Amino acid sequence: MADGGVPGRLLIIGGAADRCSGAGLLERFVELCGGGSARIVLVTTATGMPDQVHADYERVFCKLGVDRTMQLRLRGRADADGDAAATMLADATGVFFSGGDQSRLRTLVGSRTNEVLRERLTEGLVVGGTSAGATALGRTMILSGQSPEVSAGTVRTGPGLRLVPKVLIDMHFGERGRLPRLLSAVALDPEHLGLGIDENTAILVEGQSFEVLGTGVVTVADAQRATVVYPAGDGDPITLFDVRLHLLPAGCVFGIDKRAPAIGPGHDRY
């Protein structure tokens, strides 16, 4: 895959996935990981309540037939580079990143854990993430920002885990009105594809394309051929001509390498 990306399967959720009914997106994740024989590692680094989050996911995964969900907390860089994390990941069929504060996930970037994840993806590992755990999976992650302006000061980004190439992911997208933030991010680096994922909505990435799942919409912002004029000040509006926007509900597919949307054969399904 181009730009250091890794072929494999990733289920990237925009947040607020249903954890009560045992259906929908998390059910799809369990199916991808092997159903009742799945061995799931839950990375709780992003959350301030790791034990509670682990218990919540363990409960719903258990309802879906998974015997045990192991927690990988990774309190710092030493843990992310350690043998224990590598051993746990080596035996997993699926790894899921919880939500929380994505700035806490920066300690994983470039770590041994990061490299093991990239290697295991080529071997069939399934990686999932929601909210903060979703934005961390791209080449660049959004760390913060909330403003009605499209400007350099509207968004703050940092390096991501690079499990999906040339992609920048935003979450809780429609619910929190984050189009200006996503446009600001892609205006600052037009080679990125900006993906804004609504709540209880996901993309299933397989190789060079993804399918949209869930109840909401994925907004794709493509500024590769846009004209961008940067102002003198970070707080001043960016001039942006000819940016392409695509709105993709469930069943639509998108070719990342060709930057091409289409209606897929599984339209309107999880």
Annotation says 31 is catalytic: no
Q: In 3D, which of 38, 112, 127 has the Cα closest to residue 74?
A: 112
Query: At residue 3, does pLDDT exceed 60?
Result: no
Extract the tokens encoding 10: 């990733």
Domain that residue 20 falls in: 2-263
Count: domains in the chain? 1
Give the pLDDT of residue 20: 65
Confidence band of 165 (pLDDT split at 50, 70, 90)? confident
State the Cα–Cα distance between residues 106 and 224, nearest whole angstrom: 27
Give the pLDDT of residue 33: 96
Annotation says 131 is catalytic: yes
164 found inside a domain: yes
State the Cα–Cα distance between residues 251 and 236, nearest whole angstrom: 38
Catalytic pick from 31, 58, 103, 149? Answer: 149
Task: Please give the average per-residue pLDDT across 103-126, as a whole number.
Answer: 96
* CA 122-127-129 angle, 5° bins: 155
156 found inside a domain: yes
Catalytic pick from 98, 111, 131, 151? Answer: 131
Extract the tokens encoding 154: 């509207």
Catalytic pick from 172, 192, 199, 211? Answer: 172
Name the residue with higher pLDDT: 265 or 123. 123
Name the residue with higher pLDDT: 17 or 90. 90
DSSP string covering the chain, please? -GGG---SEEEEE-S----SSS-THHHHHHHHHTGGG--EEEE-TT-S-HHHHHHHHHHHHHHTT-S-EEEE---SHHHHTSHHHHHHHHT-SEEEE--S-GGGGGGGTTSHHHHHHHHHHTTT-EEEEETHHHHTTEEEEEEE---SS-SGGG-EEEE---SEEEEEEEESTTTTT-HHHHHHHHHH-TTSEEEEE-TTEEEEEETTEEEEEESSEEEEEE-TT-EEE--SSTTSPPEEES-EEEEEETTEEEETTTTEEEE-TTTT--
State the Cα–Cα distance between residues 124 and 145, nearest whole angstrom: 35
Whichever domain contains 11, its CATH number is 3.40.50.880
120 found inside a domain: yes
269 found inside a domain: no
Query: At residue 2, does pLDDT exceed 80?
Result: no
Tens-digit pLDDT profile for residues 46-97:
999 999 999 999 999 999 999 989 999 999 999 999 999 999 999 999 999 9
Give the pLDDT of residue 121: 94
Q: In 3D, which of 180, 177, 135 has the Cα closest to residue 13?
A: 135
State the pairing for strand pair 94-97/209-214: unpaired
Query: At residue 1, does pLDDT exceed 50?
Result: no
Annotation says 111 is catalytic: no
Give the pLDDT of residue 21: 55
270 found inside a domain: no
234 found inside a domain: yes
Residue 5 backbone phi and psi in degrees, to 5: -75, 165
Confidence band of 167 (pLDDT split at 50, 70, 90)? very high
User: How far apart, in Å, are the Cα atoms of 102 and each of 28, 42, 97, 219?
Assistant: 24, 15, 10, 21
Tens-digit pLDDT profile for residues 174-216:
999 999 999 999 999 999 999 999 999 999 999 889 999 999 9
Extract the tokens encoding 118: 């990239």
Task: Please give the average per-residue pLDDT across 4-31, as a whole number.
Answer: 81
Name the residue with higher pLDDT: 2 or 168. 168
